[in-house]
Amino acid sequence: MGAFRRAVQRLVAKPWFRLPRQPMLRHLTFAVVAGVAAYFLTNWLSAFNDYEVGQIAFYAIALAGLTVLTGISGQISLGQGGFMAVGAFTLALLYAHTTLDIVLELLIAAAVSAVAGAVIGIPATRLRGPYLAGMTLMVAVGLPYVTNQYNSIFGGDQGLQTPAPSGPSDINPQQWLAWVQILAAFVVLILLANLVKSRFGRSFRAVRDDEIAASLAGIHVARTKVIAFMVSSACAGLAGALFVLSAGITNSAEFPLSLSIYLLAGVVLGGTGSLMGVWWGAILVVYLPTEWATSLAGDLHANQLVSANLAIVIFGLVLVVMMLAAPTGIQGGLRWIAARVGAYFSADPLVTIALPLRDSIVPTGNNDGPGTPSTMPERETS
Amino acid sequence: MQRLSLRSAVRRSRVIVTGAVVAALGGTVALSLSGTPAGAASAATPGVTSTTITLGATEPLSGVASNYGDIAPAIDAVFKWANAHGGVNGRKINYTYLDDQYTPNITSTMTHQLVLQDNIFADIASLGTPTQLAVQGYLNSQKIPQLFILSGCNCWSEAKYPWSSGWQPPYTVDGKILGSYVAKNFKGEKVGFFTQDDEFGFDFLKGAHMEIKSGAVVSSQVYTASVAAFLAGVNTQVAALQQAGAQVVMMASIPVFTGAFLTAANTLGYHPQLIIDGVSGDPGSIGAQAISSPPAGTEALLNGAITAGYGPFENQTSNPWVQVTKKLLQDYDPTLLAKNGLTGDELVGVGVGYTVVQALQAAGRNLTRQGLLNAIANDGKNFVNPGYVPYSYTSSVHFGYEGEQLYKMSNSAPPVVLPGGTYIGVAPFGPIYQTSPGAGPVTVHHGHEDPVPSKLARTA
Amino acid sequence: MQFFVNITLGGIATGMIVASVALGLVLIFRATNVVNFAQGAMAMLSTYIAYAILHHGLGYWLTLLLALIIAMIFGAVTQRVLIRPIQGRSPLNAIIVTFGFLIFLEGLAGAIWGATNRSYPAPFAESGEQLGSFHIAFSPFNLYGVVAVLLLMGVMLVLFRGTNLGLRMRAVAFAPEAARLLGVRVQPLLTLGWSLAAAAGVLAAVLVVPNSDLTPTFMDVILIYGFTAAVVGGLDSPVGALVGGLLTGLSLAWVGGYLGGSLEPMAALALVIVSLMIRPEGIFARPAARRV
């Protein structure tokens, strides 16, 4: 066993084994590797699965924005679904009334959502904790209703049709849309990863942990919070626009309160604050309501009512159980395993002794801040 | 060997773990998907083998529109009957219907699943306007028939989407027929409107305005079909109609809001003549969803209300089509009948189902998607149907029914008896009207209902 | 003119219902320092159980009493199982847990009873009185709502300001360590707080339900309005909940009547934003000192 351990240590010490140190290069390398894997995956999978992989991609974008807002900036938001609606309707209106390129339409949708995020984020700087949650809840419920009021613009119950863009004629349209969505997801994740590692990310975390200390250190607290809101809602807007390209129509019925809660559950499952974790959450949000719930209901020989509501029940359970038992999510769990593995293979005896103790040192936050789940062992996200 | 610091030890392990996570992620996604490679060969005509035809649909089996959830099983009962009697041109019909909870993005996912995984031949009798609009572009671009759509939207008969086709009368036809009745029989009275403020209401109003002189209209109220609006109630709209003195109120509203209107009118002491679009034409549907236990005043409001229907109602127990529907379900889906009794859903289901069987029959043994479209365009007018007028299908007209029989709700008509309760009666009166959604006049149809074909009646 | 009068009366009636929900939120916040977002959903489930009881032939008032008792047990169990484990942690955890519980309950109700509307009766007549040619849109049921809410508010005021129990509950919620040192038993009082709040929730729900029918999500929109009222009035003030409720109800009625029913949730959001800009703690709250 000792020989194996030393072999691994030698391998890991080799310079080519590490990802580059510079954050942007590191993220790009990672993305390129993942992108190549995704290409092969979509080619191997059937057309319907391409459709679903594309859905995972855009939900990952929405989740990434939310995890940055809630985990890193410490502002809980239940309104992510509402901002998705803003992006979706922006795209639908652009599609109906202009002939702009799809990429431009997506960018405008994200920008409009960012503005909406600022509108909500500015009064939200005065709130924290349950007050903020309640206010964002009202956004989730209220924004889609606005579209119901102005039916002549927003299409009312019928909605606005948003067919998927067609790519080059020799590529399967499901595959093309999936690639667009996956590419968008990678771009957003790279940008967010860089943001989190940058000065902005540090101010987000400083404000999260102790607003007063942060402002004493020279950080403009309100502006930081609003920027975090804008980043999160821009992600949601882009995700919403991609969402309705998959759905084929834009309609307020597609943005119920449950969407915002599912997104929160996805963030909590993956690990609040973890960008890698959004993929777990996205898989949950795409597969649970459709395939897993129906096959589980089938296994249980449940009736139609149970089958339709099983997903909702399980999402609720995920939220409750994860917060009670595993607040750092899947990524937190993986990090814990990784730290153990790292400690085992480390040559430094101090690491082997110190690592188990490190977990018991709990970071304390300001009492009236929303704080972080108190068992989050480290500040950096992977 | 260098002394490794705590930080770089963790970073190295992070590399290992992120690599493992990527692999795990890819593996999880791949494992949880039951993929067939993208290049899999498909049959010459998807969904058709030498012994089977696969049809698909998306229906609101749960959620807000789940009261329409019984239509698809009723259609399936007809297919079971056909399969038991030799099938269609030697092929048995498999009907797969999935729950879309009346939510368009779920409809999209389910429809993609039906097309890409279940390889359906055609999308038959899916329900809902926004839900079917969501997939109209997709299905037409893939040249998949989207037929007998259960929605009254005018949008199913457009040259842009030749693969889509409707079945029930478009709302403009409803508006024209009821409007022409009001214009003829309530001359000189003040007319008000209470409509949903989206395509359902707009299309209805378009038809009504073609028949009613604008001078007669004193107030046009709208409501929004949303939960917040339901909570807010419709007192303001009803009060406005009362204020304007409308003696006749034409309503294009879904049952929940029709019920809200009745309660508000009762509270305000307002008793106009009600003209109700067929969407809320079944007293059972309004009764079931009216606000709270309807006080006696609500029943009084409905007494004398006029509506229109394109086929018999479930309380017309001596109607041969109602009887054969009951028999068919007793033989092929007794649990459905036991659950909710015989409702409008089952009548619609049997009507559509039998039409589909005839269409597939007419398309012949050499079954193609274009062939099915042609069969409906060429022969649709001659199909046997349980409604009051023949189908209007041609190559350019993709509407089924364009005519309705007037009905009146009254305490003296045979009551509508459902497991949930007994509701005010409704019976046909007056002539059968026919018109297109366009500018043509409303004419009286002098035909009779088709008799039930003997092979259908012979179900033991 | 009649239109305006009728709308305003409707606004007062709605405002009372909203105030009842807000009172429940205030109660639980004052007694346990947690905002229970599942308040509406818990009340919804209790109402469904009441509906089932009602259909077994028991009268309205007896059913209500039974529903209150069931709700109190439900509240206590929830506190014990869900909230106590996460008590020491940051408020974010409680928020997420109560939200998860909200949709869990909605899914559960949907799985058992489905989404179709069910009628739950009102204890008094719902149609207004006729005063000559003037029809007043204020029914005996609306009057009952006003009385019920005033009573509830009165009970809460007496409880928190006038009784020893109330004092201990407030201490336990906002200064648990000090209370423990003084010999107050913390956990049972927190559980009691949840019980009482659950009962208040049911009282609110049976006021709402005659107007909106029983569905798994019928309390969602009202919860938001109740939250608005609590923010406007102050989350730790029962009188604030009442005033906030009236303000909210009237604003919603006027917006709904003159601009459109679908704009009401946004109107509530606008009310919250305006209130936060002007007076963040709420109208009747005592401004809290911040410890650095």
pLDDT at A359 over 60: no
Domain positions in chain A: 22-358
For the B52-169+317-402 domain, the top CATH level (class) is: alpha beta
Q: What is the residue range of C201's domain?
A: 2-278
CA distance B273 to chain C (A): 20
Q: What is the DSSP string of B27-74?
A: HHHHHHS-PPPTT----SSTTB-SSEEEEEEEE--SSTTGGGTTHHHH
Under the banding of pLDDT at 50, 70 and 90, the label for residue A365 is: very low
- Reported as a single tens digit per residue, the pLDDT across C11-21 is 888 888 888 88
Q: B13 touching A, CB under 8 A?
A: yes
C206 contacts: CB under 8 Å, gap ≥ 6:
C47, C50, C64, C67, C120
- Reported as a single tens digit per residue, the pLDDT across A137-156 is 888 888 877 887 777 788 77
CB contact under 8 A, B101 and A308: yes
Q: C212 touching B, CB under 8 A?
A: yes
With beta carbons less than 8 A apart as the criterion, state whether B292 and C121 touch.
Answer: yes
Question: Within 13 A of B121's CA, how many CA atoms are on the CB side?
Answer: 25
CB contact under 8 A, B21 and A334: yes
Structurally, chain C folds into a number of domains equal to 1
Question: Residue A382's pLDDT is what?
Answer: 34
Across residues A350-376, what is the average pLDDT? 44
- A72 DSSP assignment: I
CATH number for the domain including C267?
A: 1.10.3470
Round to whole Å and give the CA distance between C175 and A117: 36
- Reported as a single tens digit per residue, the pLDDT across C58-117 is 888 888 899 999 999 999 999 999 888 888 777 788 888 998 999 899 999 988 887 777
Under the banding of pLDDT at 50, 70 and 90, the label for residue A375 is: very low
Instruction: Give CATH for domain B171-309+405-436.
Output: 3.40.50.2300
- Reported as a single tens digit per residue, the pLDDT across C101-123 is 998 999 999 888 877 777 777 77
With beta carbons less than 8 A apart as the criterion, state whether C230 and C71 touch.
Answer: no
Q: Which residue, among B53, B125, B43, B44, has the nearest Cα to B92 in the 3D structure?
A: B53
CB contact under 8 A, A138 and C228: yes
Grouping H, G, I as helix, E, B as strand and the rest as coil, residue C126 is coil
Evaluate whether residue C288 is within a structural domain: no
Contacts C211 to B, Cβ<8 Å: 231, 233, 291-292
- Reported as a single tens digit per residue, the pLDDT across A103-133 is 899 999 999 999 999 999 988 887 777 888 8
pLDDT at A243 over 70: yes
Question: Residue A43's pLDDT is what?
Answer: 74
With beta carbons less than 8 A apart as the criterion, state whether A108 and A90 touch.
Answer: yes
Across residues C258-283, what is the average pLDDT? 80
CB contact under 8 A, A323 and C108: no
Round to whole Å and give the CA distance between B289 and B272: 21
Closest Cβ opposite residue B17 in set A50, A164, A334:
A334
CA distance C114 to chain B (A): 8
With beta carbons less than 8 A apart as the criterion, state whether B449 and B321 touch.
Answer: yes
Nearest CA in chain A to C116: A305
Q: C90 touching B, CB under 8 A?
A: no
Question: Residue A16's pLDDT is what?
Answer: 66
Under the banding of pLDDT at 50, 70 and 90, the label for residue A339 is: confident
Phi, psi (degrees; rounded to nearest 5) at A326? -140, 70
Contacts C114 to A, Cβ<8 Å: 305
Contacts B116 to A, Cβ<8 Å: 46-48, 51, 174
**Which of the residues B64, B235, B270, B286 would you substitute to probe the C interface, choosing the one with the greatest number of C C-beta atoms within 10 Å?**
B235
CB contact under 8 A, A370 and C91: yes
CB contact under 8 A, A12 and B106: no
Question: Residue B25's pLDDT is what?
Answer: 53
Closest Cβ opposite residue C128 in set B226, B256, B267:
B267
Round to whole Å and give the CA distance between B428 and A2: 92
Question: Residue C258's pLDDT is what?
Answer: 77
Question: Residue B182's pLDDT is what?
Answer: 94
Question: Residue A356's pLDDT is what?
Answer: 56
Round to whole Å and give the CA distance between A81 and A256: 7
Contacts A258 to C, Cβ<8 Å: 103
pLDDT at A73 over 50: yes
Weakest mean pLDDT among A138-142, B450-454, C52-56, C261-265: C261-265
Phi, psi (degrees; rounded to nearest 5) at C115? -95, -5
Q: Count of CB atoms within 10 A of residue A375's CB? A: 15
Per-block mean pLDDT, blocks of 10 residues, chain B (460 long): 53 51 51 39 74 95 81 94 92 93 89 92 94 91 94 91 94 94 93 89 93 91 75 80 92 87 83 92 67 54 91 90 92 86 90 95 93 93 91 93 92 80 85 90 88 75
Evaluate whether residue C19 is within a structural domain: yes
Closest Cβ opposite residue B138 in set A151, A248, A305:
A248
Chains that touch A (3 or more CB pairs under 8 A): B, C
Under the banding of pLDDT at 50, 70 and 90, the label for residue A266 is: very high
Question: Residue C290's pLDDT is what?
Answer: 47
**Which of the residues C28, C32, C80, C96 would you substitute to probe the A interface, choosing the one with the greatest number of A C-beta atoms within 10 Å?**
C96
Under the banding of pLDDT at 50, 70 and 90, the label for residue C267 is: confident
Q: B129 touching A, CB under 8 A?
A: yes
Provide the ipTM. Answer: 0.83
* Mean pLDDT value across chain A: 82
With beta carbons less than 8 A apart as the criterion, state whether B237 and B208 touch.
Answer: no
Domain positions in chain B: 52-169+317-402, 171-309+405-436
In order of A51, B390, B403, B445, C196, the CA distances from B450 in angstroms are: 45, 8, 14, 13, 65
**For residue B194, what is the enclosing H or E element?**
strand B191-196
- C83 DSSP assignment: I
3-state SS, one letter per residue, for B141-163: HCCCCEEEEECCCHHHCCCCCCC
Round to whole Å and give the CA distance between B397 and B294: 42
Phi, psi (degrees; rounded to nearest 5) at B417? -105, 120
CB contact under 8 A, A43 and B99: no
